[in-house]
Protein backbone atom coordinates (compact mmCIF):
# COMPACT_ATOMS: atom_id res chain seq x y z
CA UNK A 1 0.00 0.00 0.00
CA UNK A 2 1.10 3.58 -0.61
CA UNK A 3 2.64 5.37 2.36
CA UNK A 4 -0.02 7.62 3.93
CA UNK A 5 0.72 9.99 6.80
CA UNK A 6 -0.98 9.12 10.07
CA UNK A 7 -3.28 11.67 11.72
CA UNK A 8 -2.66 13.52 14.96
CA UNK A 9 0.54 15.53 14.42
CA UNK A 10 1.83 16.10 17.95
CA UNK A 11 2.56 19.75 17.15
CA UNK A 12 -1.17 20.42 16.86
CA UNK A 13 -3.10 17.65 18.63
CA UNK A 14 -3.08 16.28 22.15
CA UNK A 15 -2.65 12.54 22.49
CA UNK A 16 -3.58 9.97 25.11
CA UNK A 17 -2.86 6.27 25.30
CA UNK A 18 -2.02 3.57 24.78
CA UNK A 19 -5.45 2.09 25.51
CA UNK A 20 -6.37 -1.55 25.95
CA UNK A 21 -8.46 -3.03 23.18
CA UNK A 22 -11.29 -3.83 25.60
CA UNK A 23 -11.71 -0.12 26.31
CA UNK A 24 -12.15 0.58 22.60
CA UNK A 25 -14.65 -2.27 22.26
CA UNK A 26 -16.74 -0.90 25.12
CA UNK A 27 -16.61 2.58 23.63
CA UNK A 28 -17.99 1.52 20.24
CA UNK A 29 -20.47 -0.99 21.67
CA UNK A 30 -18.68 -4.02 20.21
CA UNK A 31 -18.34 -7.39 21.95
CA UNK A 32 -15.66 -7.14 24.62
CA UNK A 33 -14.24 -10.67 24.37
CA UNK A 34 -11.16 -9.32 22.61
CA UNK A 35 -7.46 -10.15 23.00
CA UNK A 36 -5.35 -8.40 25.63
CA UNK A 37 -3.68 -5.89 23.37
CA UNK A 38 -2.53 -2.29 23.60
CA UNK A 39 -3.50 0.15 20.86
CA UNK A 40 -1.34 3.25 20.52
CA UNK A 41 -3.19 5.39 18.02
CA UNK A 42 -5.67 5.84 15.17
CA UNK A 43 -4.82 5.67 11.47
CA UNK A 44 -6.49 5.42 8.04
CA UNK A 45 -7.25 2.01 6.62
CA UNK A 46 -4.39 2.21 4.12
CA UNK A 47 -1.63 3.07 6.61
CA UNK A 48 -2.71 1.53 9.94
CA UNK A 49 -0.14 -0.80 11.50
CA UNK A 50 -0.34 -3.48 14.20
CA UNK A 51 -0.48 -0.88 17.01
CA UNK A 52 -3.26 1.20 15.40
CA UNK A 53 -7.02 1.09 15.20
CA UNK A 54 -8.77 2.01 11.96
CA UNK A 55 -12.30 1.79 10.55
CA UNK A 56 -14.27 1.00 7.41
CA UNK A 57 -17.66 2.62 6.86
CA UNK A 58 -17.80 3.06 3.09
CA UNK A 59 -18.39 -0.29 1.40
CA UNK A 60 -16.66 0.99 -1.75
CA UNK A 61 -13.39 0.28 0.05
CA UNK A 62 -14.33 -3.18 1.31
CA UNK A 63 -11.84 -4.80 -1.07
CA UNK A 64 -9.02 -3.21 0.95
CA UNK A 65 -9.98 -5.10 4.10
CA UNK A 66 -8.16 -8.39 3.43
CA UNK A 67 -4.85 -6.57 2.99
CA UNK A 68 -4.86 -4.32 6.04
CA UNK A 69 -2.24 -4.61 8.81
CA UNK A 70 -4.10 -2.79 11.60
CA UNK A 71 -4.26 -4.09 15.13
CA UNK A 72 -8.01 -3.50 15.12
CA UNK A 73 -10.66 -2.26 12.71
CA UNK A 74 -14.13 -0.90 13.44
CA UNK A 75 -16.53 -2.49 10.93
CA UNK A 76 -20.18 -3.23 10.23
CA UNK A 77 -21.30 -6.82 10.98
CA UNK A 78 -21.71 -7.48 7.25
CA UNK A 79 -17.98 -6.99 6.70
CA UNK A 80 -16.59 -8.70 9.78
CA UNK A 81 -15.86 -11.94 7.93
CA UNK A 82 -13.50 -10.12 5.55
CA UNK A 83 -11.20 -8.87 8.32
CA UNK A 84 -7.83 -10.67 8.01
CA UNK A 85 -6.30 -12.88 10.66
CA UNK A 86 -4.24 -10.85 13.13
CA UNK A 87 -6.58 -7.85 13.00
CA UNK A 88 -9.33 -7.67 15.62
CA UNK A 89 -12.77 -6.74 14.29
CA UNK A 90 -14.65 -4.30 16.52
CA UNK A 91 -18.14 -4.94 15.19
CA UNK A 92 -20.80 -2.24 15.39
CA UNK A 93 -23.70 -1.14 13.22
CA UNK A 94 -22.40 2.44 13.25
CA UNK A 95 -18.68 2.22 12.39
CA UNK A 96 -18.26 5.94 11.74
CA UNK A 97 -19.82 6.87 15.07
CA UNK A 98 -17.50 4.36 16.72
CA UNK A 99 -14.52 5.87 14.92
CA UNK A 100 -15.50 9.34 16.13
CA UNK A 101 -15.58 8.13 19.73
CA UNK A 102 -12.27 6.28 19.50
CA UNK A 103 -10.51 9.15 17.72
CA UNK A 104 -11.72 11.52 20.44
CA UNK A 105 -10.37 9.14 23.09
CA UNK A 106 -6.88 9.25 21.59
CA UNK A 107 -7.06 12.94 20.63
CA UNK A 108 -9.39 14.78 23.02
CA UNK A 109 -10.23 18.43 22.52
CA UNK A 110 -7.84 20.62 24.54
CA UNK A 111 -9.05 21.38 28.04
CA UNK A 112 -9.07 24.94 29.30
CA UNK A 113 -5.79 26.06 30.83
CA UNK A 114 -7.11 28.20 33.65
CA UNK A 115 -5.95 31.78 33.54
CA UNK A 116 -6.38 35.18 31.92
CA UNK A 117 -3.71 36.51 29.56
CA UNK A 118 -2.18 39.78 30.81
CA UNK A 119 -3.24 41.60 27.62
CA UNK A 120 -6.92 40.66 27.95
CA UNK A 121 -9.36 43.40 28.98
CA UNK A 122 -11.88 42.18 31.56
CA UNK A 123 -14.61 44.34 33.03
CA UNK A 124 -14.59 44.13 36.85
CA UNK A 125 -18.28 43.20 36.93
CA UNK A 126 -17.80 40.07 34.77
CA UNK A 127 -18.35 36.76 36.58
CA UNK A 128 -15.76 34.30 35.30
CA UNK A 129 -15.24 30.82 36.71
CA UNK A 130 -11.66 30.32 37.95
CA UNK A 131 -11.19 27.41 35.52
CA UNK A 132 -11.80 29.55 32.42
CA UNK A 133 -9.03 30.27 29.90
CA UNK A 134 -8.98 33.72 28.26
CA UNK A 135 -6.50 34.40 25.48
CA UNK A 136 -4.42 37.36 24.43
CA UNK A 137 -6.16 40.66 23.66
CA UNK A 138 -9.61 39.24 24.32
CA UNK A 139 -12.25 41.68 25.60
CA UNK A 140 -14.93 40.67 28.13
CA UNK A 141 -17.59 43.28 28.79
CA UNK A 142 -19.63 44.28 31.81
CA UNK A 143 -21.89 41.71 33.54
CA UNK A 144 -20.67 38.85 31.34
CA UNK A 145 -20.93 35.36 32.85
CA UNK A 146 -18.62 32.55 31.70
CA UNK A 147 -19.02 28.99 32.99
CA UNK A 148 -16.50 26.45 34.19
CA UNK A 149 -13.92 25.08 31.75
CA UNK A 150 -14.75 27.43 28.87
CA UNK A 151 -12.11 28.88 26.55
CA UNK A 152 -12.21 32.40 25.12
CA UNK A 153 -9.73 32.63 22.25
CA UNK A 154 -7.38 35.50 21.45
CA UNK A 155 -8.85 38.72 20.05
CA UNK A 156 -12.40 37.63 20.78
CA UNK A 157 -14.91 40.17 22.05
CA UNK A 158 -17.68 39.17 24.46
CA UNK A 159 -20.21 42.00 24.73
CA UNK A 160 -22.00 43.31 27.79
CA UNK A 161 -24.42 40.97 29.51
CA UNK A 162 -23.58 37.87 27.46
CA UNK A 163 -23.92 34.52 29.24
CA UNK A 164 -21.67 31.65 28.18
CA UNK A 165 -22.14 28.21 29.73
CA UNK A 166 -19.64 25.57 30.81
CA UNK A 167 -17.08 23.82 28.59
CA UNK A 168 -17.60 26.14 25.64
CA UNK A 169 -14.86 26.79 23.08
CA UNK A 170 -14.90 30.31 21.67
CA UNK A 171 -12.13 30.43 19.08
CA UNK A 172 -10.04 33.37 17.93
CA UNK A 173 -11.57 36.64 16.71
CA UNK A 174 -15.16 35.76 17.56
CA UNK A 175 -17.58 38.51 18.52
CA UNK A 176 -20.62 37.79 20.68
CA UNK A 177 -23.27 40.25 21.81
CA UNK A 178 -26.90 40.06 23.01
CA UNK A 179 -26.60 36.29 23.47
CA UNK A 180 -27.27 33.50 25.94
CA UNK A 181 -25.14 30.46 25.15
CA UNK A 182 -25.54 26.99 26.67
CA UNK A 183 -22.93 24.40 27.64
CA UNK A 184 -20.40 22.75 25.29
CA UNK A 185 -21.05 25.23 22.49
CA UNK A 186 -18.30 25.80 19.91
CA UNK A 187 -17.91 29.05 18.00
CA UNK A 188 -15.21 28.77 15.35
CA UNK A 189 -12.89 31.63 14.33
CA UNK A 190 -14.53 34.76 13.03
CA UNK A 191 -18.10 33.83 13.96
CA UNK A 192 -20.34 36.85 14.59
CA UNK A 193 -23.17 36.28 17.04
CA UNK A 194 -25.84 38.80 17.99
CA UNK A 195 -25.30 41.70 15.64
CA UNK A 196 -28.27 43.76 14.38
CA UNK A 197 -30.75 41.94 12.21
CA UNK A 198 -31.37 43.29 8.72
CA UNK A 199 -34.51 45.21 9.66
CA UNK A 200 -35.75 48.56 8.44
CA UNK A 201 -38.97 50.29 7.45
CA UNK A 202 -39.21 51.57 3.89
CA UNK A 203 -40.83 54.88 3.01
CA UNK A 204 -40.64 57.32 0.09
CA UNK A 205 -37.94 59.20 2.00
CA UNK A 206 -35.70 56.18 2.48
CA UNK A 207 -34.99 53.53 5.11
CA UNK A 208 -35.73 53.83 8.82
CA UNK A 209 -33.82 51.28 10.95
CA UNK A 210 -36.03 49.16 13.21
CA UNK A 211 -34.44 48.55 16.63
CA UNK A 212 -33.44 44.90 17.00
CA UNK A 213 -34.49 44.13 20.58
CA UNK A 214 -34.20 40.34 20.71
CA UNK A 215 -31.34 38.02 21.60
CA UNK A 216 -29.57 35.00 20.21
CA UNK A 217 -30.16 31.87 22.29
CA UNK A 218 -27.86 28.92 21.50
CA UNK A 219 -28.58 25.47 22.93
CA UNK A 220 -26.20 22.98 24.48
CA UNK A 221 -23.73 21.28 22.17
CA UNK A 222 -24.32 23.50 19.13
CA UNK A 223 -21.44 24.34 16.81
CA UNK A 224 -21.20 27.49 14.69
CA UNK A 225 -18.68 27.48 11.83
CA UNK A 226 -15.98 29.97 10.95
CA UNK A 227 -17.14 33.37 9.68
CA UNK A 228 -20.80 32.47 10.08
CA UNK A 229 -23.19 35.20 11.22
CA UNK A 230 -26.28 34.90 13.41
CA UNK A 231 -28.40 38.03 13.78
CA UNK A 232 -30.21 38.72 17.03
CA UNK A 233 -33.98 38.87 16.97
CA UNK A 234 -36.00 41.97 16.29
CA UNK A 235 -38.69 41.59 18.96
CA UNK A 236 -38.40 37.81 19.45
CA UNK A 237 -35.23 35.79 19.95
CA UNK A 238 -33.19 34.04 17.29
CA UNK A 239 -32.93 30.45 18.58
CA UNK A 240 -30.34 27.83 17.67
CA UNK A 241 -31.42 24.52 19.18
CA UNK A 242 -29.26 21.98 21.01
CA UNK A 243 -26.85 19.98 18.90
CA UNK A 244 -27.31 22.13 15.79
CA UNK A 245 -24.27 22.10 13.48
CA UNK A 246 -23.76 25.17 11.30
CA UNK A 247 -20.93 25.09 8.79
CA UNK A 248 -18.63 27.95 7.75
CA UNK A 249 -19.93 31.08 5.99
CA UNK A 250 -23.60 30.66 6.86
CA UNK A 251 -26.00 33.58 7.40
CA UNK A 252 -28.90 33.22 9.86
CA UNK A 253 -31.37 36.12 9.88
CA UNK A 254 -33.26 37.62 12.80
CA UNK A 255 -36.01 35.66 14.58
CA UNK A 256 -35.02 32.38 12.88
CA UNK A 257 -35.76 29.27 14.95
CA UNK A 258 -33.67 26.15 14.29
CA UNK A 259 -34.68 22.87 15.91
CA UNK A 260 -32.42 20.37 17.61
CA UNK A 261 -29.70 18.57 15.62
CA UNK A 262 -30.34 20.36 12.35
CA UNK A 263 -27.40 20.68 9.94
CA UNK A 264 -26.75 23.72 7.75
CA UNK A 265 -23.89 23.54 5.24
CA UNK A 266 -21.53 26.23 3.96
CA UNK A 267 -22.77 29.43 2.31
CA UNK A 268 -26.43 28.75 3.00
CA UNK A 269 -28.56 31.74 3.91
CA UNK A 270 -31.77 31.78 5.94
CA UNK A 271 -33.96 34.88 5.95
CA UNK A 272 -35.72 36.25 8.99
CA UNK A 273 -38.51 34.55 10.94
CA UNK A 274 -38.14 31.18 9.22
CA UNK A 275 -38.79 28.16 11.46
CA UNK A 276 -36.63 25.10 10.81
CA UNK A 277 -37.62 21.84 12.46
CA UNK A 278 -35.40 19.32 14.21
CA UNK A 279 -33.01 17.18 12.16
CA UNK A 280 -33.42 19.23 9.00
CA UNK A 281 -30.48 19.15 6.57
CA UNK A 282 -29.79 22.22 4.42
CA UNK A 283 -27.06 21.74 1.83
CA UNK A 284 -24.46 24.23 0.61
CA UNK A 285 -25.50 27.55 -0.94
CA UNK A 286 -29.22 26.98 -0.38
CA UNK A 287 -31.23 30.15 0.14
CA UNK A 288 -34.46 30.35 2.15
CA UNK A 289 -36.80 33.32 2.07
CA UNK A 290 -38.37 34.63 5.25
CA UNK A 291 -41.35 33.44 7.29
CA UNK A 292 -41.18 29.85 6.05
CA UNK A 293 -41.82 26.62 7.93
CA UNK A 294 -39.43 23.72 7.26
CA UNK A 295 -40.70 20.48 8.81
CA UNK A 296 -38.84 17.93 10.87
CA UNK A 297 -36.30 15.89 8.94
CA UNK A 298 -36.72 17.78 5.66
CA UNK A 299 -33.78 17.88 3.25
CA UNK A 300 -32.94 20.85 1.08
CA UNK A 301 -30.50 20.28 -1.78
CA UNK A 302 -27.47 22.36 -2.65
CA UNK A 303 -28.16 25.74 -4.30
CA UNK A 304 -31.89 25.38 -3.78
CA UNK A 305 -34.00 28.51 -3.72
CA UNK A 306 -36.74 27.81 -1.18
CA UNK A 307 -39.74 30.16 -1.35
CA UNK A 308 -42.53 28.00 0.07
CA UNK A 309 -42.96 25.82 3.14
CA UNK A 310 -41.41 22.36 3.14
CA UNK A 311 -43.24 19.57 4.94
CA UNK A 312 -41.74 17.07 7.39
CA UNK A 313 -39.44 14.58 5.70
CA UNK A 314 -39.74 16.17 2.27
CA UNK A 315 -36.75 16.53 -0.07
CA UNK A 316 -36.55 19.56 -2.35
CA UNK A 317 -34.07 20.77 -4.96
CA UNK A 318 -33.71 23.47 -7.58
CA UNK A 319 -34.55 27.14 -7.79
CA UNK A 320 -37.37 27.69 -7.22
CA UNK A 321 -37.32 24.53 -5.15
CA UNK A 322 -39.58 21.59 -5.86
CA UNK A 323 -39.75 17.94 -4.80
CA UNK A 324 -36.52 16.20 -5.74
CA UNK A 325 -38.23 13.56 -7.93
CA UNK A 326 -39.99 16.27 -9.93
CA UNK A 327 -36.74 18.19 -10.25
CA UNK A 328 -34.83 15.20 -11.63
CA UNK A 329 -37.67 14.35 -14.07
CA UNK A 330 -37.47 17.88 -15.45
CA UNK A 331 -33.68 17.70 -15.74
CA UNK A 332 -33.93 14.45 -17.68
CA UNK A 333 -36.67 15.85 -19.93
CA UNK A 334 -34.68 18.98 -20.72
CA UNK A 335 -31.60 16.90 -21.45
CA UNK A 336 -33.53 14.72 -23.88
CA UNK A 337 -34.97 17.78 -25.61
CA UNK A 338 -31.50 19.28 -25.95
CA UNK A 339 -30.10 16.04 -27.35
CA UNK A 340 -32.99 15.68 -29.81
CA UNK A 341 -32.43 19.24 -30.97
CA UNK A 342 -28.85 18.43 -31.88
CA UNK A 343 -29.72 15.39 -33.97
CA UNK A 344 -29.59 15.94 -37.75
CA UNK A 345 -33.01 15.97 -39.39
CA UNK A 346 -33.79 13.26 -41.93
CA UNK A 347 -34.11 14.32 -45.54
CA UNK A 348 -37.67 15.20 -46.43
CA UNK A 349 -38.64 15.20 -42.76
Given the residues 107, 254, 261, 291, the one annotated as active site: 254
**Per-residue model confidence as pLDDT tens digits over 295-338:** 999 999 999 999 999 999 999 999 999 999 998 898 898 888 88
Q: Are residues 86 and 126 in the same domain?
A: no
pTM: 0.90
Rounded distance, CA 330 to CA 336, Å?
10
Q: Are residues 145 and 95 in the same domain?
A: no
Checking if the pLDDT of 4 tops 80, the result is no
Q: Are residues 101 and 120 in the same domain?
A: no
Residue 291 annotated among the catalytic residues of the structure: no
Q: Are residues 254 and 218 in the same domain?
A: yes
Q: Are residues 171 and 123 in the same domain?
A: yes
Q: What confidence score (pLDDT) does residue 345 get?
A: 65
**Per-residue model confidence as pLDDT tens digits over 130-185:** 999 999 999 999 999 999 999 999 999 999 999 999 999 999 999 999 999 999 99
Write phi, then psi, for 144 (nearest 5 degrees).
-70, 145
Residues 6+ apart with CB under 8 A from 39: 17, 18, 19, 20, 21, 24, 51, 52, 53, 71, 72
The CATH code of the domain that includes 127 is 2.160.10.10
The CATH code of the domain that includes 77 is 3.40.1390.10
Q: What confidence score (pLDDT) does residue 2 get?
A: 45
Q: Are residues 74 and 124 in the same domain?
A: no
Domain around 200:
115-325
Count of domains in the chain?
2
Rounded distance, CA 195 to CA 182, Å?
18
Amino acid sequence: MADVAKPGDARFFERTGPHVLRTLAELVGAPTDVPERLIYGVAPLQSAGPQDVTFLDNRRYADLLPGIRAGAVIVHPDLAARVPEGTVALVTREPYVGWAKVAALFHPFPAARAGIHPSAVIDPSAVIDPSVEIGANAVVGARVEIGAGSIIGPLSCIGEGVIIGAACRIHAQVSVSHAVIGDRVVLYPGARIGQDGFGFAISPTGFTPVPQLGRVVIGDGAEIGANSCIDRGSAQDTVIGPGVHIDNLVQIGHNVKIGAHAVIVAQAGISGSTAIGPQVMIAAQAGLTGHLSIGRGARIGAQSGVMTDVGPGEEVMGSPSQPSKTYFREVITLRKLAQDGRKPKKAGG
